[in-house]
C-alpha cells in the first residue's frame, strides 16, 4: 500500500507536527525515564501497526543507548526477564490505554503504576500514551511507511 498523503508537506500538517514535536520535548523534559518513554512509544506503535513510529522509536532508543535485545523483546515483555517492575507497569498501562475500554485501565495496573511512579511521572506517562496513540492513528490512516526516519528529526521540528 502506498502512502496516501504526506501530512508534513501540508501547511496544517507541518504546524501540527511542530506542536507534536514540542509536546515530545515536554515529555523528554519530564522526570519520566527516557527508557520508559521509548518503550511505551514502541509498544503502542506495535499494537497499532504504525511503521513510521516503530522506525522512529527504535532508532531513537538505540541512539540513546537502549539495549537492542530489550527492543526486540518489547512485544513479549510479559514473558521476559529484561524489564524492571516499573517498566512492566508502564507497558501494561500502555496496552490498556491503547486497547481502551469504557473501564479504562484496570485497578491492578493503575496500582502498579502508582507504586513505581510519582504524580509528575504519571502525568507524563498518561499524556505520552495519549500522544503516541494519536500519532499512530495519523500514521496508520495515511499509511506512513517506516524505514527513512533519521535520529533527531522529530526534535529538530521543534527547534
**What are the structural domains of the chain?**
13-158 (1.20.1290.10)
Vertex 79, ends 78 and 83: CA angle to 5°? 60
C-alpha distance from residue 61 to each of 1, 13, 39 (Å): 27, 25, 8
Spell out the per-residue pLDDT of the chain, length 159, in tens: 788 888 778 899 888 888 888 898 899 999 999 999 999 999 999 999 999 999 999 999 999 999 999 999 999 999 999 999 999 999 999 999 999 888 889 999 999 999 999 999 999 999 999 999 999 999 999 888 888 888 877 777 665
Amino acid at each position: 500500500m502506498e502512502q496516501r498523503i504526506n501530512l508534513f508537506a501540508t501547511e496544517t500538517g507541518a504546524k501540527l507536527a511542530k506542536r507534536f514535536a514540542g509536546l515530545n520535548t515536554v515529555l523528554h523534559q519530564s522526570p519520566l525515564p527516557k527508557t520508559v518513554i521509548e518503550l511505551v512509544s514502541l509498544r503502542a506503535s506495535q499494537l497499532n501497526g504504525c511503521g513510521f513510529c516503530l522506525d522512529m522509536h527504535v532508532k531513537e532508543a538505540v541512539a540513546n543507548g537502549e539495549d537492542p535485545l530489550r527492543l526486540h523483546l518489547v512485544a513479549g515483555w510479559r514473558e521476559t526477564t529484561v524489564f524492571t517492575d516499573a517498566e512492566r507497569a508502564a507497558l501494561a498501562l500502555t496496552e490498556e490505554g491503547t486497547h481502551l475500554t469504557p473501564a479504562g485501565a484496570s485497578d491492578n495496573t493503575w496500582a502498579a503504576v502508582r507504586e513505581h511512579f510519582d504524580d509528575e511521572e504519571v502525568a507524563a506517562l498518561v499524556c505520552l500514551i495519549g500522544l503516541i496513540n494519536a500519532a499512530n492513528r495519523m500514521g496508520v490512516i495515511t499509511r506512513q511507511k517506516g524505514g527513512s526516519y533519521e535520529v533527531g528529526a522529530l526534535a529538530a521540528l521543534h527547534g
